[in-house]
Amino acid sequence: MSAEPRTTVTALSLPGVYRIEPRPIPDRRGHFYEAFRTEALSAALGRPFPIRQVNYSVSRRGTLRGIHTTTVPPGQEKLVTCVRGSALDVAVDLRVGSPTFGQYEVTRQDEGSGIGVLMADGIGHAFLALSDDVCMNYLCSAEYVPGTMIDVQALDPEIGIPWGLTGEPVMSDKDRAAPTAREAADAGLLPRYADCLAQYASLADGGRE
């Protein structure tokens, strides 16, 4: 076995957001890749990334989901990968007081690429389904606690995500009625950057119980 890393973990412009790109190994049958290794991912994060819940979403073409995050505490970090179809995946900094608050990172995800995006607590997630029957896989660091979901408007003009829409997106009633980031911050709904940093430090010290 080669000692060469089989995945590359890259820190993106938003603190706490990482892109994970595997190195496929092809042969006559197709190809194989490692989605991630706990040791390499934990080294990049500076803390463990335990997997406590696994989710899937299936979406028709033109579906826009998000922006979603959770309150801190309890938080719920996510590693998101497109396992069928194609999606425009977006991470948004929703941590009040963060130097990159309201900024975003866009990653095109296609089935078979194995590219994943890890989002720390306080980072919002949204995606646009670019094909039919898009399936997204979510590896979550904690079990979801009902009542802790935070919704922010994915079409917020101040955030200005370049979705490239050519028509009306398919959205849930909840997502369509979600407040802008400014409205959510003014209402005290968004996590504070200081609380997120304290959460990260707690995880580094001993992991989430």
Q: Give the residue numbers annotated as catalytic, written as ranges.
A: 68, 138
Residue 176 parent element (H or E): helix 173-176
- Return the closest-CA partner of residue 140 out of 80, 195, 86: 80
SS3 42: helix
Give yes or no for a contact between 69 and 192, defined as CB atoms under 8 angstroms apart.
no
The Cα–Cα gap between 173 and 123 comes to: 22
Q: What is the largest CA-CA distance in the chain?
A: 57
Residue 21 parent element (H or E): strand 17-22
- Give the pairing type, strands 78-84 and 104-110: unpaired
| Placement of tokens 């033109």 in the chain | 62
The string over 113-138, giving b where at least 16 C-beta atoms fall within 10 Å of a residue's C-beta and e elsewhere, is ebbbbbbbbbbbbbbbbbbeebbbbb
